[in-house]
Amino acid sequence: MSERPKLNVILCAPRGFCAGVDRAIQIVELALQRYGAPVYVRHEIVHNRFVVASLEKRGAIFVEELEEIEVEDRPVIFSAHGVPKEVKSDAVARNFFYLDATCPLVSKVHKEAELHYRRGRDILLIGHKGHPEVVGTMGQLPEGVVTLIETVGDVMRLEPRDENNLAWISQTTLSVDDTRDIVAALKDRFPNIVSPHKDDICYATTNRQEAVKHVAPDCDAMIIVGAPNSSNSQRLREVALRAGCKRANLIQRAAEIDISTYRGIDTIGITAGASAPETLVEEVLEAFSEHFELSLETVRLAEETISFPLPRPLRDSDVSATPAEKALATS
């Protein structure tokens, strides 16, 4: 048997689950534990099919719209991406007991939008059309109040009602560099535009992109573990290519890897989007270890210690309350 070729593997850190994703998954798990199956989840709780499938096996039922739910007395959970206000109103009208798993950093953007609206500003949202987070953010306010900006070209074509009464906010999972260019264009065209007090792009998105930027120039190829509909995972692939790595592949599972295409390279970098569990990274390493003698190195650029509290109905002090009492507690 011939010796396995050597392969240097650089693991980016931080990688994988962020606090918002971890909280959202925990909400579904605790709801199943306390109320039993089934519990309903509107949209994928996070954009990762492995996570969704594992929760389905435990009794979670995923739907796209509330009208698909035929049973009124089961908990309904809103995904980490957030929902328009009309969805919550619909849940109340249907007498659903719901738990909101919206990431607190997304909720922060919602509150910023509402504040700008109360102050009479027209709002520009930097983001990707159709993404659930963008749909949820725009749905916090009346139609027409928020204008979506996807590119610098959109900024150039913008004709606001009052260029001195504008504010911008952003989707939390964007490319830091792309967003910086769009913001620069906005400030150049509209010097009086109001910016967020703190960057809307979340800490986890920023940290994962910075780690990839640092590692990518030293890699012959990079693998990003994540889903194709995961915005933050797609951005990691783009960042790797821009940072100088000639090849960057986004995969969901190790089974998608064509090992033969990695023969002859010296160094590969591996990271994972914020909604991808570490077990999938381990799966990728195991796949490579069957064909290569691996030399592992971890490059860590930041420590992440942030955590977010659970919704009140799921906190330990509320264990004995009924679903109706829990609903009242959150109102």
Same fold, 6-17+203-300 and 105-189: yes
| pTM summary value | 0.91
Kindly state the average pLDDT of the residues 221-237: 96
* pLDDT tens per residue, range 57-87: 999 999 999 999 988 899 999 999 999 999 9
Kindly state the average pLDDT of the residues 217-229: 97
* pLDDT tens per residue, range 4-55: 899 999 999 999 999 999 999 999 999 999 999 999 999 999 999 999 999 9
User: What is the CATH architecture assignment of 105-189?
Assistant: 3-Layer(aba) Sandwich (3.40)
Query: Domain-by-domain residue ranges, the chain?
Result: 6-17+203-300, 19-103+307-330, 105-189
Position 12 scores a pLDDT of: 98
* pLDDT tens per residue, range 82-138: 999 999 999 999 999 999 999 999 999 999 999 999 999 999 999 999 999 999 999
Kindly state the average pLDDT of the residues 198-202: 86
Task: Say whether domain 6-17+203-300 belongs to CATH 3.40.190.10.
Answer: no
65 given a catalytic annotation: no
Active-site residue, selected from the candidate residues 56, 65, 68, 133: 133
Q: Mapped to the 3 state alphabet, what secondary structure does the chain carry? A: CCCCCEEEEEEEECCCCCHHHHHHHHHHHHHHHHHCCCEEEECCCCCCHHHHHHHHHHCEEEECCHHHCCCCCCCEEECCCCCCHHHHHHHHHCCCCEEECCCHHHHHHHHHHHHHHHCCCEEEEECCCCCHHHHHHHCCCCCCCEEEECCHHHHHHCCCCCCCCEEEEECCCCCHHHHHHHHHHHHHHCCCCECCCCCCCCHHHHHHHHHHHHHHHHCCEEEEECCCCCHHHHHHHHHHHHCCCCCEEEECCHHHCCHHHHCCCCEEEEEECCCCCHHHHHHHHHHHHCCCEEEEEEEECCCCCCCCCCCHHHCHHHCCCCHHHHHHHHC
* Matching CATH number, 19-103+307-330, of 3.30.70.2470, 3.40.50.11270, 3.20.20.70, 3.60.150.10: 3.40.50.11270
Share of the chain above pLDDT 90, in %: 90
